[in-house]
């Protein structure tokens, strides 16, 4: 009985480094574990700030100038119609 | 018949146009030469000098529209209606500038084009309300359309303080740089921003003035056609 206890003690002692090693192996593996997730947005890309800035100023310029041209065209059309109507009416009245 | 149209712009308009052109040059210098490049964001931060003044110009346009609409509903004077139409269009123009330049900046600063941040969402809502106003007015100049559109503009006015205070009251992504509670600007950046505000004030005034004149001429044409029709002069034309 005493020899059996001694045998179990020696066996346990001899296996303890293996269990410790196994424990260390798990920790090291966990510390290096990575989770791959789908990217949201474009954090990993090198975004060209200069192009975005030029785009912003360009779009603003185009929109403002486009609106000015649109006002000019509407003004010219209204003035033309007004002139034609006045001429027609004065012809009929006169 | 009353003649309210004039092809020659008034002297004040010409002076304002010249001042605006000069301010464009000063603003370009202040933005690209005087103001330094921001440390973390780099050159893309220069969008700030048109993005923020555009938002201010949008507020001005929408407020002019709502005030013009309210006075039109009370007085039924067409000149206020013309002012309201001009304010809505110009406000919408700058709203579009804000909604385009913002995402271009956000792409670099936040990593994505758009997020449903309270300020972004309420700005989009204002844009949709005043788009509805402009679309409604484009259907025709009848009394019902004008009155309904005027009411819509007044409803839209209530969204403006929500846009302004959303960034302080609700959690979101949009930053506050001009604030009494933190943030701040390099002095040279402040100069560029101030020039931007002056430029956009002149620009919004010039555009609203010009568009109001165009709308007044259109109203004159409509009144002339109506008067001619009532007198039976349009039958053979």
The ipTM (two decimal places) reads 0.89
Q: 3-class secondary structure for A33-94?
A: CCCCCCCCCCCCCCCCHHHHHHHHHHHHHHHHHHHHHHHHHHHHHHHHHHHHHHHHHHHHHC
Instruction: Report which of residues A6 and B29 the model is more confident about.
Output: B29
CB–CB of A59 and B225 under 8 A? no
Averaged pLDDT for residues A21-42: 55
- The answer on pLDDT for A20 being more than 60 is no
Q: Mark yes or no for CB contact A41/B41 under 8 Å.
A: no
Chain B, 154 to 193: residues with Cβ < 8 Å from chain A are none
With 50 as the cut, is the pLDDT of residue A36 above it? yes
CA distance B54 to chain A (A): 9
- Domain containing residue A10: 2-29+49-93
Find residue B42's DSSP bridge partners.
B38
Q: What's the gap in Å between the CA of A54 and the closest CA on chain B?
A: 9
Q: Cα angle vertex B96, ends B204, B213, to 5°?
A: 35
Asked if A55 lies within 8 A of B220 by C-beta distance, the reply is no
Whether chain B has a CB inside 8 Å of the CB on A74: the answer is yes
| H or E, element range at B190 | helix B187-230
CB contact under 8 A, A82 and B97: no
Q: What is the DSSP letter of B9?
A: P
The number of folded domains in chain A is: 1
For residue B1, what pLDDT is reported? 45
Inter-chain CB proximity A56 and B203 less than 8 Å: no
Residue of B nearest to A71 (CA): B211
Which residues in chain B show pLDDT less than 70?
Answer: 1-7, 177-183, 234-237
Collapsed DSSP state (helix, strand, coil) of residue B8:
coil
What pLDDT is attached to residue B228?
82
Which of B50, B89, B228 lies nearest to residue A56, judging by beta carbons? Answer: B50
User: Which residue is listed with tokens 């509670």?
Assistant: B181
User: Would you say B69 and B149 are in contact if contact means Cβ atoms under 8 Å apart?
Assistant: yes
Å between A76 CA and nearest CA of chain B: 9
User: Does any CB of chain B come closer than 8 Å to the CB of residue A21?
Assistant: no
Chain B residues with CB under 8 Å of A64 CB are: 93, 97, 203
Please tell me the distance from the alpha carbon of residue B59 to that of residue B235, in angstroms, as a whole number.
Answer: 45
Tell me, yes or no, whether A80 lies in a domain: yes
Nearest residue to B149 (alpha-carbon basis) of B125, B131, B127: B131
A73 and chain B in contact, CB less than 8 A: no
The reply to whether A71 falls in a domain is yes
Does residue A69 belong to any structural domain of this protein? yes
Across the interface, of B51, B101, B221, the residue whose CB is closest to A78 is B221
Q: Does residue A39 belong to any structural domain of this protein? A: no
* Dihedral (Cα; B45, B47, B50, B52), 10-degree rounding: -60
Per the CB < 8 Å rule, is A85 touching B221?
yes
- Taking CA atoms, what residue in A is nearest to B102? A56
Structure tokens at A6: 């001694």
pLDDT at A64: 97
- Backbone phi, then psi, for B42, in 5-degree steps? 80, -155
Percent of chain A with pLDDT over 90: 32
Q: Calculate mean pLDDT across residues A49-67.
A: 95
Average pLDDT, chain A: 74
CB within 8 Å: A53 and B224 = no
Domain range list for chain B: 49-227
* pLDDT, greater one: A47 or B15: B15
Work out the number of other CB atoms within 10 angstroms of the CB of residue A9: 10
> How far B181 CA sits from the closest chain A CA (Å)?
28
Q: With an 8 Å Cβ cutoff, are B1 and A89 in contact?
A: yes
Q: Nearest residue of B to residue A93 by CA position?
A: B233
**Smallest Cβ distance to A52: which of B44, B89, B213?**
B44
């Amino acid at each position: 009985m005493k020899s059996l206890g001694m045998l179990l003690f020696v066996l346990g002692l001899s296996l303890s480094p293996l269990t410790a090693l196994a424990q260390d192996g798990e920790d090291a593996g966990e510390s290096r574990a990575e989770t791959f997730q789908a990217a949201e947005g474009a954090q990993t890309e090198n975004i060209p700030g200069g192009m975005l800035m030029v785009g912003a100023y360009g779009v603003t310029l185009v929109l403002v100038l486009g609106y000015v041209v649109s006002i000019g065209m509407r003004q010219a059309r209204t003035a033309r119609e007004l002139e034609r109507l006045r001429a027609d009416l004065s012809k009929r009245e006169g | 018949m009353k003649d309210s149209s004039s092809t020659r712009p008034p002297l004040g308009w010409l002076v304002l146009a010249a001042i605006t052109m000069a301010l464009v040059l000063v603003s370009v210098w202040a933005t690209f030469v005087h103001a330094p490049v921001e440390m973390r964001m780099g050159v893309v931060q220069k969008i700030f000098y048109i993005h923020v003044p555009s938002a201010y110009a949008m507020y001005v346009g929408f407020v002019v529209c709502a005030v013009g609409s309210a006075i039109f509903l009370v007085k039924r004077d067409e000149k206020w209606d013309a002012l309201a139409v001009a304010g809505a269009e110009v406000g919408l123009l700058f709203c579009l500038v804000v909604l385009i330049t913002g995402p271009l900046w956000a792409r670099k600063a936040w990593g994505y084009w758009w997020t449903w941040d309270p300020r972004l969402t309420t700005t989009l809502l204002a844009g949709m309300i005043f788009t509805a106003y402009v679309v409604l007015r484009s259907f025709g100049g009848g009394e019902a359309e004008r009155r309904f559109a005027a009411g819509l503009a007044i409803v839209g006015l209530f969204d403006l303080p929500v846009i302004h205070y959303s960034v302080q009251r609700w959690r979101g992504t949009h930053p506050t740089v001009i604030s009494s509670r933190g943030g701040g600007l390099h002095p040279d950046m402040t100069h560029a921003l101030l020039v931007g505000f002056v430029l956009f004030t002149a620009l919004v005034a010039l555009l609203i003035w010009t568009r109001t004149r165009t709308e007044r001429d259109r109203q004159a044409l409509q009144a002339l056609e109506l008067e001619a029709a009532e007198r039976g002069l349009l039958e053979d034309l």
